Amino acid sequence: MIQRVGEAIVLRSWPFLEADLIVSLFTREQGRVKGVARHAMRSRRRFGGALEPMTYVRATYAERPKQELMRLDAFEIISSPLSRPVDYARTAALQLVSEVIEEALPEQAPEDAVFRLALSVMEELQVGWVWLPVTYFALWMNRLMGWMPELGHCVVCGEYLRGQTLYYSATSDGITCADDRRPGAVALSAGSAALAERIFRAPLSTFRGENFPKACAADLRRFALELLERHLERRLASARTLERIRMEKS
């Protein structure tokens, strides 16, 4: 048995047997792992509120030979999403981060860049500041997973596209110009494409204080989320929730 201690983000948990929980963790050193928190539903001494989704913890756990599930011994909270005000939009945004990481990353494959991205987005997400962090996360996840197309040139004719409206299709690779757009293609404004380029050049914290209401760059957010769904081959429940919130408050 190998004893480990390291940073981790709690993704989700679900009941197992009578009082145990299975917990999905995204660890910095081992990537995504699953483990059993024994008696977690009866005793709060070892875990307390550390099992809430998207809690950043220092986890103590044991890797057992030939067994898929780790033995989770204790979590020390480093940062909790419940330490700041919570509303429906912020909760849905945190769920999106958790859902995408859970679906995109294979088990036990370390991804330090994704870990750092998740921490930066968790730090920035707050009531009233949700839409730009969500867009930032979705765009960067596409890039880190190798799914982000080139935005500067048409994939068909090679035309230089900066400063122009771009077009993309939910069923085809690449960005096109207006002349080469595919049936059912969706437009991405020149301003939103320029914002994407800014996002890929700067940390999320540098956008703090700028005015990004939920309507701002909605097409860019839609593009990034649809690209994730296409490569994950499933719809993201949290993305649907965020869209309902946006429409209800429009």
In percent, the amount of the chain with pLDDT more than 70 equals 97
Q: What torsion, rounded to 10 degrees, do the Cα atoms 149, 155, 160, 162 define?
A: -30
Sheet holding 186-188, edge to edge: 175-176, 166-168, 186-188
Helices within the chain (DSSP H only): 88-104, 112-124, 131-144, 190-199, 218-232, 237-248
| Domain boundaries along the sequence of the chain | 2-82, 84-248
CATH fold, domain 2-82, is: OB fold (Dihydrolipoamide Acetyltransferase, E2P) (2.40.50)
Query: Do 61 and 4 meet the contact criterion of CB atoms below 8 Å apart?
Result: yes
What's the CA gap between 140 and 121, in Å, rounded?
Answer: 11
Average pLDDT over residues 99-128: 96
Fold equal for 2-82 and 84-248: no
Judged by DSSP in three states, 39 sits in coil
Q: Decide: pTM greater than 0.85.
A: yes
Question: Does residue 44 surpass a pLDDT of 70?
Answer: no
Average pLDDT over residues 195-210: 92
Tell me the pLDDT of the chain averaged across its residues: 92
Spatial CB neighbours of 116, under 8 Å, sequence gap ≥ 6: none
In percent, the amount of the chain with pLDDT more than 90 equals 78
Spatial CB neighbours of 106, under 8 Å, sequence gap ≥ 6: 31, 32
User: Does 84-248 carry CATH code 2.40.10.10?
Assistant: no
What's the CA gap between 94 and 84, in Å, rounded?
Answer: 13
Question: Does residue 247 surpass a pLDDT of 90?
Answer: no
Question: Does residue 174 surpass a pLDDT of 90?
Answer: yes
Question: Does residue 42 surpass a pLDDT of 90?
Answer: no
Token duo for residue 121: 């987005």
Per-residue pLDDT at 224: 97
What's the CA gap between 202 and 126, in Å, rounded?
Answer: 19
